[in-house]
Amino acid sequence: MASLTKNPNVNKWVDEMIALTKPDKVVWIDGSEEQLNALRKEACETGEMIKLNEEKLPGCLYHRTLPNDVARVEDRTLICSRNKEDAGPTNNWCDPKEMYAKLTPMYDGVMKGRTMYVIPYSMGPIGSPLAKVGVEVTDSIYVVLNMAIMTRMGADAFKNLGDTSNDFVRGLHSKADVDPEGRYIVQFPEDNTIWSINSAYGGNVLLGKKCFALRIASYQGKNEGWMAEHMLILGLQKPNGEIKYITAAFPSACGKTNLAMLIPPEGYTKKGYRVWTVGDDIAWLKPGEDGRLYAINPENGFFGVAPGTNENSNYNALASTKKNTIFTNVAINNDDMTVWWEKLDKNPPVNATEWKGAKVNGPEYIAEGNKLAHPNSRFTAPAENCPCISSEFNNPQGVPISAIIFGGRRAKTAPLVYQSFSWQHGTFVGSIMASETTAAATGAVGVVRRDPMAMLPFCGYHMGDYWAHWLEMGKVLGDKAPKIFNVNWFRTDDDGNFIWPGFGDNMRVLDWIIDRCEGTVDAVETPIGFEPKPEDINVEGLDGITTETIADLLTVDTELWKEETKGIEEFYAKFGEKLPKELAQELADLKARLG
């Protein structure tokens, strides 16, 4: 099939990939509905995908991955910069020459008997000065159909690239034998190249997402004066109609999709407050002509965690999945070919197929201690389905950011909310983030680890240089820089229950954050930052949560924080000379304030 571009750099690279992987057939993805329909049909015929109920879930498909292939694999993810030093102490590294030499034989002939799909795509609205082009070659229809939702995919993406540019990210993916021993997710930042093999799970194979829009893009951003962050973007509309934009970085499965789509409590909606979603996972941020920081969402859909999503917790996410959505590793209700996952409702299907493919009696299976859906099962839903999608979603200039929020899962230590003293202190607050691990990556769940800016698995270069870049951006933005905050929805009581109701009620905390940005509310200075006066968090209409509960959620336990500074010191020690002196100073200042 003929190429869709005259760009010789693209064509030369695709030819090289064909010569390497030796597919029987090559199909260029033009993005047409006709072509996608043919692929959907083919995938359903081969059993790779399953068609769901056309009345209840029109255009929706089901897919299951192998039990050994259900999450990102951080231990098999590498940053292959020429110098080891440039990958830093938090990334796995291998010399690029060695890595190419190791992987080349694995890709040699891997697509024999298969079709290679060549996917042109844009991260960011086509025509946006912040957008970037990628080309992914893959032997997976599932990848094509997901990229069709998650990116601006098809021939139009080449318009942005033009006929001569070499500025595109080259992504090579083969599911190969889906062998966990041969699984590698490799970024070559200096070559604009990603090689992924032996996986078929989202974050490992939708190369526009974590591999490009975070790992490669963070490196590009450092060199080009912008930032690629693991952040949601939301617009908070006030009763006077004004919309303030906020980004928030939480680690994987820690609440970005939920916060981005929240429905405010009744008291707020009655007054006219609304939340609009610009993005739920990734933000590209760049200073605009007016000197403020602007953000675009490079994605075009949501690859969201299914379990826990329901009418009450996240109405908008659920509504987004009602058509043209792909479900991965959830359970099927065989009575009507719909989907189910934990906490969707209280009625697990009796005639169910669990995520691994076994036919089971849902309620009985759950009673035996099993889960019908994998904890990291996901939906891939088009952003245009979202009832609260922002009118600025496709704005090529992005939206101006007033506040940046960091947060994670901490049972103790971190209070409900606090504000940093400055951009530099805010950078420190981001750098010391810690959170309990989740099912989004393979490995133990619930273990507290440092996850600076929620970028530990996604920073494409030395984390010390990344922090220096943050500090540098603060200097560029000056007094127009967004204010930086930290939140924690996950403090628990002595029985391990979450104290804060979370979800829509997180609006109450956003309210205080916006007031702080506008300078309309006071704060209390604590050793770790500015905190609300407990009575300034609105608890009206909350069941069982009083201003005393808020005071409790805001306590800063000096002894715990002194312990915490030891952990930070240990973590910082990894960075040696690369630790920005400003952050060492912030740590020293924190220790002094704690006494």
**CB neighbours of 72 closer than 8 A, spacing ≥ 6?**
185, 201, 203, 204, 210, 252, 440, 441, 442, 457
- Shortest spacing between CB 595 and ligand SPV, in angstroms: 37
Q: Which residues bind ligand GTP (CB under 6 A)?
A: 250, 252-258, 280-281, 304-305, 307-308, 313, 440, 489-490, 498, 502-503, 506
The alpha carbons of the chain give a radius of gyration, in whole angstroms, of 23
Cβ proximity to Mn ion, 196 vs 252, nearer residue: 252
Maximum Cα interatomic distance, the chain, rounded to a whole number of Å: 70
User: By C-alpha distance, which of 49, 68, 37, 38 is closest to 332?
Assistant: 49
Which C-beta is closer to ligand GTP: that of 400 or that of 501?
501
State how far the Cα of 120 lies from the Cα of 317, in Å rounded to an integer. Answer: 27
The binder of 307, among Mn ion, ligand SPV, ligand GTP, none, by C-beta within 5 to 8 A per type, is ligand GTP
Instruction: Tell me how far, at minimum, the Cβ of 310 lies from ligand SPV, in Å.
Output: 20
CB of 211 to ligand SPV, least distance (A): 9
**Which option in ligand GTP, ligand SPV, Mn ion, none does residue 508 bind, with CB closer than 5 to 8 A by kind?**
none
Q: Is 254 a catalytic residue?
A: yes
- Among residues 280, 364, 313, 290, which one has the least CA distance to residue 489? 313
Which CB, 192 or 320, lies closer to ligand GTP?
320
Q: Does 69 bind Mn ion (CB under 5 A)?
A: no
Contacts to Mn ion from residues 400-439, by CB under 5 A: none
Give Cα separations from 455 to 213, 228, 351, 460 (angstroms).
12, 10, 41, 9
Least distance (Å) between residue 138 CB and Mn ion: 21
Cβ-closest position to Mn ion? 281
Report the DSSP beta bridge partners of residue 389. 277
CB of 277 to ligand GTP, least distance (A): 11
Residue 209 interacting entry, from ligand SPV, Mn ion, ligand GTP, none, C-beta within 5 to 8 Å by type: ligand SPV
Cβ proximity to Mn ion: between 151 and 419 the closer is 151
Active-site option among 60, 211, 254, 386: 254
Buried b (16+ CB within 10 A) or exposed e, 490-509: bbeeeeeeebbebbbbbbbb
Contacts of 155 (CB under 8 A, 6+ apart): 4, 5, 30, 31, 120
- Pick the binder of Mn ion from 281, 299, 354, 564 (CB under 5 A): 281
Contacting residues for 295 by C-beta, under 8 A, at least 6 apart: 231, 233, 245, 247, 278, 279, 283, 284, 285, 398, 399, 401
Return the residue nearest ligand GTP (CB atom): 502
Is the separation of the CB atoms in 75 and 185 below 8 Å? Answer: no
Q: How far is the CB of 313 from ligand GTP (least distance, A)?
A: 5
d(CA 487, CA 502): 11
From ligand SPV, Mn ion, ligand GTP, none, interface partner of 498 (C-beta below 5 to 8 A by class): ligand GTP
Dist CA 276 CA 287 (whole Å): 22
Residues that bind ligand SPV (CB under 6 A): 72, 202-203, 209-210, 252, 281, 303, 440
The verdict on 136 binding Mn ion (CB under 5 A) reads: no
CB of 281 to ligand SPV, least distance (A): 5
Residue 255 binds which of Mn ion, ligand GTP, ligand SPV, none (CB < 5-8 A, kind-dependent) = ligand GTP
Query: Looking at this protein, which amino acid is placed at residue 243?
Result: I
Facing residues of 360 across strands? 352
Shortest distance, position 172 Cβ to ligand GTP, whole Å: 24
Which is nearer to ligand GTP, 7 or 506 (by Cβ)? 506
In terms of CB distance, is 5 or 328 closer to ligand SPV? 328
**Alpha carbon 313 to its chain's center:** 19
Report the residue closest to ligand SPV, judged by CB.
Answer: 203
Is the alpha carbon torsion for 511, 514, 516, 522 positive or negative?
negative
3-state secondary structure of 453: helix
- Closest CB to ligand GTP among residues 40, 374: 374
Among ligand GTP, Mn ion, ligand SPV, none, what does residue 489 contact (CB within 5–8 Å per kind)?
A: ligand GTP
Residues labelled as active-site residues:
254
State the residues that interact with Mn ion by CB under 5 A: 252, 281
